[in-house]
Amino acid sequence: MTVSSSVRPAVPDRGGPRARVAPWLTLAWSAVAVALGLGWWSGVLPRGVPEGESFGSLFSGQGLGVASGAMAVCGLAGLVCSVLLLRRGGAGGRVAEVGAWLMAVAVLTVFVDGSLLALLGYTMIVPVAGWFVPGLPSAYVSAILEPTALTLLFCAVGVVLWAVAALVHRGVVRDACQRCGREEDWTPGEERRVRARALRVGRWAVGVGVVLALLYPALRFLWLFGVMLDFGEQETRRMLTDSSMLFTGLALGAAGAVGAVLMLGLVQRWGVRFPRWMVGLAGRRVPVALAVAPASLVAVALVAMGRSTLVQLMTAMEGSTPVTEPVHATVFLSMGAWGVALGVATAAYAVRRRAECGECERGLPEADPVRTPVAG
């Protein structure tokens, strides 16, 4: 039911159950972080951050005390911030919201590195490439079960949880609906303007993101023509004769191209309704979480890859690797910007997909992106 601007139902009580789920999750995450730090330090748990050389990790070559201390301190800070977020009626105020955002940024920049994007990339290609590359499935399973990989995933989820907690807290402070985030002065005209603005911003973000997303596939697809930029002649010859390595590189490039295509769905009709060729799902509504959850995780991984490349360039004192060479360095650094663009596009998609709220009864029916009205 669409509610006119003159009839505004009461907003649910501030600080109710829905608004308290997010801070409880961050509280649990923080408690686990403290336990991890203490577990690493005491030897009860295997170290969950790289000990030796690892691409872009801030803990490469650092002692156990540095890694365990950093994780424990991060967890303690998270506990304090979560308690502020849990204060009834948003009494934590601006401090709690800023603290949640700082936690998200800190976890992303300190604990998440480029290895996360590699894990996600191999997750995409193993179901196909595993049939053609001997040993790839077993190597992938072993890698994903490593303590360092599990810590990466834990921290990536933490980044998303802290960002969500900050947004939820802002809604509580503003007396917004706990379910949809709409405020008491909502009007249909404003809803249309917000959707139109989100669509414009989303299109720009997707446009930038798709261009950047195609850089990596282009780098790998050149291998089909025997061109391997930033590799020496001898190494190029060796890689071209190694069918497993060649297939894996091309598969990762294809995964990047698929990512670019999927990003288009954030502003296309088939991102709202399943396309006709999807038998059994054609025409049905695409669940918002089905697009937002994986896109958010990939955005975190991309930003982490850009940060890791920067760290690698600043700390590579001895010798060089393809990543520190001009072309590869440019492509991998650009992934940070791609991640930001994907994050903006995902947020715009989520805002645009908000339909009528069953709790506060505000909102308008969902509209296809190509038909979203520009003004109210």
pLDDT at 318: 46
What count of other Cβ atoms lies within 10 Å of the Cβ of residue 190? Answer: 14
Q: Note down pLDDT in tens along the chain; length 376 residues.
A: 444 444 444 444 444 455 578 899 999 999 999 999 999 999 999 999 887 777 788 888 788 899 999 999 999 999 999 999 988 777 778 899 999 999 999 999 999 999 999 999 999 999 999 898 889 999 999 999 999 999 999 999 999 999 999 988 888 887 777 667 777 777 888 888 888 999 999 999 999 999 999 999 999 999 998 888 878 788 888 888 888 889 999 999 999 999 999 999 999 999 988 888 888 888 888 999 999 999 999 999 999 999 999 988 887 644 445 676 888 899 999 999 999 999 999 999 998 988 777 677 787 777 777 655 444 4
Spatial distance between the Cα atoms of 199 and 193, rounded to a whole number of angstroms: 10
Tell me the average pLDDT of the chain: 86
Torsion sign, CA atoms 175, 96, 102, 294: negative
Q: Which residues contact 351 (CB under 8 A, 6 or more apart)?
A: 194, 195, 198
Nearest to 219 by CA among 208, 230, 209: 230
CA dihedral 340, 341, 343, 344 (to 10 degrees): 120
CA dist., res. 166 & res. 95, Å (int):
10
> pLDDT at position 71, please?
96
Residue percentage of the chain with pLDDT more than 70: 89
Q: Which residues are CB-neighbours of 352 under 8 A, at least 6 positions away?
A: 195, 198, 199, 202, 369, 372
User: For 221-251, how does the pLDDT look when each residue is reduced to its tens digit (9 = 90+)?
Assistant: 999 988 888 787 888 888 888 888 899 999 9
Structure pTM?
Answer: 0.88
Tell which residue, 205, 204, 196, 164, has the closest CA to residue 181.
Answer: 164
- The residue ranges of DSSP E strands in 289-355, in sequence order, are none
